[in-house]
Chain A
Amino acid sequence: DGGITQSPKYLFRKEGQNVTLSCEQNLNHDAMYWYRQDPGQGLRLIYYSQIVNDFQKGDIAEGYSVSREKKESFPLTVTSAQKNPTAFYLCASSKTGPSNEKLFFGSGTQLSVL
């Protein structure tokens, strides 16, 4: 079955540590996205990528980095510069072009600080 797989489901970060969240899709979608969800805040865009080897910052990119070396994969690194990383992180993908706004989501990663 096609879908988006995020791992791990739960992640703990120590002070000063970088951690990487994995996102893999087999939907053959060109576009991939990372959103952050805090309680009562909805989804806020961190980074997105429309095509392999290209990505753009979203609204809250500071303290995060991404790569897009393969169409299927869009890992997110939460760096030590992100001072408040505790949140639920959602990865999504979509086709590109007009009328392809519909996002398909993974099951998310809950990141907490030790």
Chain B
Amino acid sequence: EDKVVQSPLSLVVHEGDTVTLNCSYEVTNFRSLLWYKQEKKAPTFLFMLTSSGIEKKSGRLSSILDKKELSSILNITATQTGDSAIYLCAVSSNSGYALNFGKGTSLLVTP
């Protein structure tokens, strides 16, 4: 059975801190790993990673995939209160039609 595990499940940091969120997976015929941010209702897309070792960046957020270790990290530098959200990791496979999501990491950034 495919599995996506995120850690930690929740995290509280102070504004300005750097955080690292983890996602590990066991998926048959892995195709890609995606990160989403869910602030209130609709998850919004952050990154899609298919190749190992290539970092994707968007402002203060970055992510990298390690296909050997079957994992990915999402880094947020100089955190702001607006970064408070649930961060969802999802994996797709060549033998499935829908994304398989982890439980999410709930991040709270305090002033």
Q: Which residues of A contact B (CB under 8 A)?
A: 31, 33, 35, 40-45, 48, 50, 56, 58, 88, 90, 98-99, 101-108
Flag if B101 contacts A42 (CB, 8 Å).
yes
Take A90-B43, A101-B31 as given contacts and tell me if A45 and B98 are in contact as well, using a CB distance cutoff of 8 Å.
Answer: yes
Q: Which of A44, A48, A101, A108 contacts B42 (CB 8 A)?
A: A108
Flag if B34 contacts A101 (CB, 8 Å).
yes
Flag if A105 contacts B34 (CB, 8 Å).
no
Number of interface residues of B (CB under 8 A): 24
Q: Given known contacts A42-B88, A58-B98, A104-B45, what 9 new A-B pairs fall within 8 Å (CB)? A: A40-B103, A43-B43, A45-B100, A56-B97, A90-B42, A101-B32, A101-B34, A101-B48, A107-B41
Q: Closest Cβ of chain A: how far from B102's Cβ, in Å?
A: 5
Q: Closest Cβ of chain B: how far from A99's Cβ, in Å?
A: 8
B19 within 8 A of A: no
User: For the complex, what is the distance from the CA of A33 to the CA of B88, rounded to whole Å?
Assistant: 17
Closest 7 CB pairs of A and B: A42-B103, A101-B92, A43-B101, A107-B41, A105-B42, A108-B41, A42-B101
User: For the complex, what is the distance from the CA of A42 to the CA of B90, rounded to whole Å?
Assistant: 10
Flag if A48 contacts B98 (CB, 8 Å).
yes
Q: Which one of A48, A88, A101, A106 has the greatest number of beta carbons of chain B within 10 Å?
A: A101
Q: Closest Cβ of chain A: how far from B35's Cβ, in Å?
A: 11
Q: Closest Cβ of chain B: how far from A19's Cβ, in Å?
A: 19
Flag if A33 contacts B98 (CB, 8 Å).
yes
